A and B are shown apart, each in its own frame.
Chain A
């Protein structure tokens, strides 16, 4: 499992994410969930509506690897992408984050962060953003 920083967790929990899924052959479907909860270093849970669960259940069954990107104002202020395997149980989607990327437009887009020591990731964040999470 990758280790998410407090900043990543705070933005993702408050604003949720666009969740990209695909069939085994790569046909994509994205849903938007406006809140998340995070346990441990990087397990992200989303409470889906029945319509959202129904929309992605076949994709998750055949290809559980998903991608998450922060929703709403967090797309601007917290340009990260998270990837990992997901499990759908009832209306709860749980994603174990295995990869973390910076998606800030420009030359740092696609920079992989989870391969760095945690203190280096935090330094990277501090050098690029002034906040440690969304406003309370």
Chain B
């Protein structure tokens, strides 16, 4: 599904909001993990892209259960959304033709494989700035549903 212009503005790399997000994944037996992710971008209006920076448990979960759910942690004003859908990590070493829901490893790694080309890592708050950067790949979330996270309407489908 297509994200709204407001959602895209919040999640786009180098955007004015600079959101911090969590990516929730789960093992196949139901143990959740929330991965703190200060960098995101949007592709074709329906994919949320982020760098794999030491996403160790996320990778284990995605390898056995390809579903992800991204929520905005900060700033939240007007951004109480949850984005859910198929999720995978395209890693350095995947052949260029490897594809996930139409996104090829070649295009993903060329555009987002070195995140510092899009935005410097030090644009985020000092507490979140990685002391060492070892980007191993690109996390791709295909958004299939968006729901509301505001307390009174939590869970209501936005689209």
- Chain A residues with a Cβ under 8 A of chain B: 18, 20-34, 49, 51-52, 54-55, 63, 65-73, 75-77, 79, 81, 83, 103-107, 109-110, 129
Contact in complex: B132, A106 (CB < 8 Å): yes
- How distant is A134 from chain B, measured CB to nearest CB, in Å? 13
Q: Count how many pairs of residues, one from A and one from B, have CB atoms less than 8 Å apart in the complex.
A: 152
Residues from chain A with Cβ under 8 Å of B152 in the complex: 49, 51
Comparing B4-12, B27-35, B101-109, the segment that makes contact with chain A is B27-35
B156 CB–A CB distance under 8 Å: yes
B26 CB–A CB distance under 8 Å: yes
Quick one: CB contact mask for B48-81 with A, threshold 8 Å, 1 for yes? 0000011111000100010111010111100010
B131 CB–A CB distance under 8 Å: yes
19 contacts between A and B (CB under 8 A): A26-B61, A29-B69, A30-B149, A31-B149, A31-B154, A32-B76, A32-B80, A33-B151, A49-B152, A55-B154, A69-B73, A73-B74, A75-B22, A75-B36, A76-B74, A106-B131, A107-B131, A109-B36, A109-B54
B130 CB–A CB distance under 8 Å: yes
* Closest residue on chain B to residue A59 by CB atoms: B30
A29 to B75, CA, bound (A): 20
B88 CB–A CB distance under 8 Å: no
Contact in complex: B24, A20 (CB < 8 Å): yes
Contact in complex: B26, A28 (CB < 8 Å): yes
A28 to B71, CA, bound (A): 12
Enumerate the 6 nearest inter-chain pairs by beta-carbon distance, A residue then B residue, closest first: A55-B155, A20-B32, A75-B73, A106-B130, A26-B26, A22-B26
B158 CB–A CB distance under 8 Å: no
- Would A28 and B154 be within 8 Å (CB), given that A76-B127, A105-B130, A109-B54 are in contact? no
- Would A18 and B24 be within 8 Å (CB), given that A24-B30, A28-B67, A29-B69 are in contact? yes
Residues 127 to 159 of chain B near chain A (Cβ within 8 Å): 127-134, 149, 151-156
A34 to B149, CA, bound (A): 11
